[in-house]
Each structure stands twice: as C-alpha cells, then as structure tokens.
C-alpha cells in the first residue's frame, strides 16, 4: 500500500502537467480566448495610455501596459475556468473527469494553470502595443525578477482560478458568474487605477487577491523598485489558494457524488 501511494504521488505532477499542456493547447486555438487575452486588454490599455498622453503625466505609459497585461491573464482565468467546465459538461466529459482515479483537484488545477498561462499572450501584446503605438520605453530594470514575478503571477492567478473553478462545477450559470466578477477585480486590485485613489475599505479585499501583488511585483521589477516582497506575497497567496482549493474541491466532489446531480446543477 505504501509503495502504491508513493507511485500515485509521483504520478500526480504528471496529471497536472498533461492537463496544463492540453488546456494550453486547446485554449490557444480558441478565437474567443485569444480575443479575451489580447484584444480586450489592448482596448482598455489604449484608453488609459491615451489619457496619460493627453495630460495625465503622473504615471509612465508602461505602468498602464503592465496593468493591462495582468487584466488579460485574469480574464482568461475567469472565462477559462467557467467556459472549460461548462464545455466539458456540455460534451458529457465532466462526470468521467470527476470519477477517474486521479484526484479531481489535480485535473482542475491543470485546467486553471493552463488558462492562466494563455494570459501571457496579453502581457506580450500590451507591451508591444505600448512600444509601437504609444512610444513607451519598454525596458525592465531587473528582467530576471520581472520574469520570476510573471511566473509567480501566473501560478497565483491559476490557483485562484482553482478556488473559483471548484464552485463553477456546481452551477450551470458559471459564465454569468465570470462576467459578474471580472470587472470589479480589475478595479479593486489597482490594475489601471492606483490603490491610493481607491477608498480605504477596498484595500483589505485588494490585498487578499493575487492580481494586486502580481502587478506590484512586475511594476517594481520594471521601474527599479523592490519586487521580492510582492513576489513573496504572491507565493503566500498561492499556498493559501491551494489549501482552500483542495478543501473546496473535496466538499464539492462529495456533494456531487451524494446527490448524483453533477450534470443537472
């Protein structure tokens, strides 16, 4: 039994890796997801950068470009989690995913990390857009910590998607939930508006969400600040999301098995 448990444990990273690869490949071929990851952030970034050029010179253009890039990652996580599970329910593959021997949390983790990785398209697209169209000086003060911050941002957002995706399993209207939470998170986490301009009551909520620390890490690495504290908070948030996600997926899975209504929620 102990050997079997060790063998299963060694196989778990492979389950997540294959789920990540499959989801990344599938989402990268989706026109809707590419529009969400690339086109939509460019629109909002263009508005913000045009406002900066028109007279609000307090913040550099790169500040807005980085925020728009995180917006794209967040959007792909939100819509990817809800859309992927809804599609699998529609295709009749959700029940087999829940019933396979591998823990469902690993399957769901591969899906959420894959969709978050697709969001890196938006980061590259917004930086290129800012440089070509708005003449932004895109040069990172610390490219190594910037890369580390981008990786930690993707991981933390993917694990936040794990928490959301576990609740999406039970509801057919997951896409409606995605639409409801996308824009408030953009605003409260300071992606395009500095947190200092937001009311004080919103700050605790912002500090609990990974995009706040992800964009702080990237901006600090780009402008010569201290990104390590924000990267550390991303890591801590990832561990918390992972623990909550594992617990929540277990609760949802037990409920689905007991009521036998997974496909009828």
Digit-coded pLDDT (tens) for 74-120: 888 887 776 666 666 677 777 777 777 777 788 888 888 888 888 78
Average per-residue pLDDT for the chain: 79
| Domain presence at residue 42 | yes
- Find the helix or strand (DSSP H, E) in which 131 lies: helix 120-133
Does residue 157 form part of some domain? Answer: yes
User: Left, alpha or beta for 260 (phi > 0: left; psi -120 to 50: alpha)?
Assistant: left
Q: The dihedral of CA 136, 138, 142, 148: what is its sign?
A: positive
- Tell me the C-alpha distance between 25 and 22, whole Å: 5
pLDDT at 248: 81
Give me the number of domains the chain comprises: 1
Task: Answer whether 75's CB lies under 8 Å from 156's CB.
Answer: no
Within a domain: residue 195? yes
Condensed to tens digits (0 to 9), the pLDDT of residues 168-208 reads 665 656 566 666 777 788 888 888 778 888 888 888 989 99
pTM of the model: 0.81
User: Within a domain: residue 184?
Assistant: yes
Residue 1 has pLDDT above 50, yes or no: no
- Whether the per-residue pLDDT at 31 is higher than 80: the answer is no
Give the range of the structural domain holding residue 170, as residue numbers without chain letter. 13-259
Each residue of 9-19: pLDDT tens digit? 557 788 888 88
């Amino acid at each position: 039994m102990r050997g079997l448990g060790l063998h299963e444990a060694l196989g778990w990273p492979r389950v997540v890796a294959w789920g990540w690869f499959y989801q990344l490949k599938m989402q990268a071929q989706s026109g809707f997801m590419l529009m969400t990851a690339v086109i939509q952030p460019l629109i909002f970034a263009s508005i913000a950068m045009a406002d900066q050029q028109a007279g609000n010179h307090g913040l550099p253009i790169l500040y807005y470009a980085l925020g728009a890039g995180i917006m794209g990652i967040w959007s792909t996580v939100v819509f990817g989690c809800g859309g992927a599970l809804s599609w699998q329910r529609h295709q009749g593959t959700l029940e087999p995913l829940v019933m396979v021997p591998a823990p469902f949390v690993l399957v769901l983790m591969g899906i959420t990390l894959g969709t978050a990785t697709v969001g890196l398209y938006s980061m590259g697209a917004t930086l290129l857009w800012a440089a070509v169209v708005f003449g932004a000086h895109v040069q990172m003060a610390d490219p190594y910590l910037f890369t580390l911050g981008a990786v930690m941002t993707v991981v933390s957002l993917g694990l936040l998607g794990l928490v959301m995706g576990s609740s999406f399993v039970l509801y057919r209207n997951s896409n409606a939930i995605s639409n409801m939470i996308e824009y408030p998170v953009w605003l409260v986490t300071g992606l395009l508006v500095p947190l200092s301009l937001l009311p004080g009551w919103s700050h605790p909520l912002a500090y609990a969400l990974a995009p706040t620390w992800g964009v702080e890490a990237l901006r600090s690495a780009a402008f010569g600040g201290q990104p390590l504290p924000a990267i550390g908070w991303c890591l801590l948030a990832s561990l918390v999301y992972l623990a909550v996600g594992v617990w929540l997926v277990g609760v949802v899975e037990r409920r689905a098995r007991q009521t036998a209504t997974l496909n009828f929620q």
